[in-house]
Amino acid sequence: MGNDGKRLTRSNNKMIGGVCAGLGEYLGLDPTIVRIVWVLMVLFAGVGILLYIILWLVMPKPTVE
């Protein structure tokens, strides 16, 4: 596994905390897709809210380049 310089951080392209947009940027997905999946997790699985809060606290803010 090579280190390609990608780092999981919150995004400045945020609606609430930047978690979904940060995950989208890291995974190479459109942040809107990640947000839709997140809402479905909240509605059907119920774990989305708690997971979002945990990631919001754990994920660092993006560095200014």
Distance of CA 39 to the CA centre of its chain: 13
- In angstroms, the first-to-last Cα distance of the chain is 25
2-34 pLDDT, tens digit each: 456 778 888 887 788 888 889 998 999 999 999
Mean pLDDT across the stretch 32-57?
Answer: 86
Q: Taking the CB of residue 29, how many other CB atoms lie within 10 A of it?
A: 13
d(Cα 30, Cα 11) in Å, to the nearest integer? Answer: 12
Q: Taking the domains of the chain in order of start, what are their residue ranges? A: 19-58
* Burial of residue 8, with CB atoms counted within 10 A of its CB: 0-12 exposed, 13-18 middle, 19 or more buried: middle
Q: What is the pLDDT of residue 38?
A: 87
Predicted structure pTM score: 0.75
